[in-house]
Amino acid sequence: MARPLPLVRSRAAGGSAAADRGTPSAIHRLRLEPDFAEERRLRRLGCRFVAGVDEVGRGCLAGPVTAAAVILPPDWMPAGLRDSKLLRAPERERIAVELRTGALAWAVASVWPAVIDRINILQATLLAAGLAVGRLPIRPDALVLDGSLALPDAPLPQRVVVDADRLCASVAAASVIAKVERDRLMVELDAAYPGYGLATNKGYAAPEHRAALARLGLSPIHRRSFASCAEIEQLDLWLAEVAAS
C-alpha cells in the first residue's frame, strides 16, 4: 500500500478521512494553465522526483487504454502545456516532442482489449498506469494522479487530485504524452482494420463508429465486454486472424 502523506491529507465533505486526496477550490478549478503547487508540496516533504500519471482511452469501444508517467524538472514545462483535451492535435504533437526531450523521465504503457475484456476496464487502466510508472528510467519518490487513478499496489506516496490533468503540470504532461501515443496507435489500427474510422474517432463511440459496427461487426481490437459491443458479432473477415492469435 502507498505510504501516507499526513501533511497533504484532506477530509471529504461528509467528514470522513480522504487520505492523500485533494479537492481544489472553485476558483482553482477554473484555471486552465497547470502549475507546480502539488509537486512543490511533495518536494517539501522530501520527495525529490515526483511523477505525474494520467490515462487516455478508458471509455473507448476499440483500441487500448494508454497511460503515461512523467517526471518534470522543477518548475519547467513546455510553453502552452495544458490538459491534452484542451489542445489541438498540432499543439499536442509539439508539446509532446518538447516533453520527450526536456522531461527528466517519461514512460508510456498500453493495455489492449483482450486484457481489458478479461480483467475489466478499471483494472486495465490501473495496470497501464502501474506499468508506465514501473517503466520510468528514474524511480519516482511520489506520484500525482488524476481523479480516481490511485494505485493501491504502488509502494509510493500518492497524491490524487480532482482535475489534476488540468491543474498539475506533471499530470498535464502525462496526459499529452499518453494522448499522442494512443492517437498514433489508433492511426495504425485504422490501416489494419479499415471501415471504422479509427484514425478520426480514435475508438470512441462516435455516431459513424457505431454505424460501422452495425454494418461491419466487431474487429479484434473492439472491447467485447463493453455494452455497446457485447451483442455485436465478430466480422467474418477477422475470424481467421483471431483464431491464429
Same domain, 140 and 37: yes
> How confident is the model at residue 232, as a pLDDT?
85
Same domain for 54 and 166 = yes
Closest CA to 110 of 66, 53, 69: 66
Predicted local confidence at residue 231, as pLDDT: 81
Domain match, 64 and 119 both: yes
CA atoms within 13 A on the CB side of 157: 20
117 phi and psi, to 5 degrees? -70, -25
Q: Give the integer Cα–Cα distance in Å for 193 and 170.
A: 34
Give me the residue label for grid cell 500500500: 1
Q: Which of 131, 169, 180, 179 is nearest to 51 (CA)?
A: 169
Name the nearest CA neighbour of 149 among 116, 185, 174, 119.
174
pLDDT per 10-residue tile (average), the chain, 245 residues: 40 33 54 90 96 97 98 96 96 98 98 98 97 98 91 92 95 98 98 97 96 93 93 66 53
55-59's contacts with Cβ under 8 Å and 24+ in sequence apart are 55/125, 55/128, 55/129, 55/146, 55/149, 55/178, 56/84, 56/175, 56/178, 56/179, 56/182, 57/182, 57/202, 57/203, 58/121, 58/125, 59/204, 59/205
Q: Specify the pLDDT at position 147.
A: 83
* CATH number for position 136: 3.30.420.10
Identify whether residues 81 and 139 lie together within a single domain: yes
Q: Same domain for 24 and 82?
A: yes
Domain count, the chain: 2
Residues in contact with 231: Cβ distance below 8 Å, sequence separation at least 6, in sequence order: none
Q: Please say whether the beta carbons of 76 and 29 come within 8 A.
A: no
Same domain assignment for residues 153 and 203: no
229 domain residue, yes or no: yes
Same domain for 156 and 200, yes or no, is: no
Q: 235 and 163, same structural domain?
A: no
Last residue of a domain, one of 182, 201, 216: 182
Do 68 and 13 fall within a single domain?
A: yes
41, 111: one domain: yes
Residue 1 covered by a domain: no
Residues 74 and 125 in one domain: yes
User: Whose CA is closest to 11, among 3, 2, 22?
Assistant: 22
- Which pairs from 8-16 meet CB under 8 Å and 24+ separation? 8/41, 8/42, 8/45, 8/159
Query: What's residue 6's pLDDT?
Result: 38
Cell numbers found for residue 28:
482553482
Rounded Cα distance, 242 and 45, in Å:
50
For residues 53 and 99, state if they share a domain.
yes
Domain that holds residue 146: 6-182
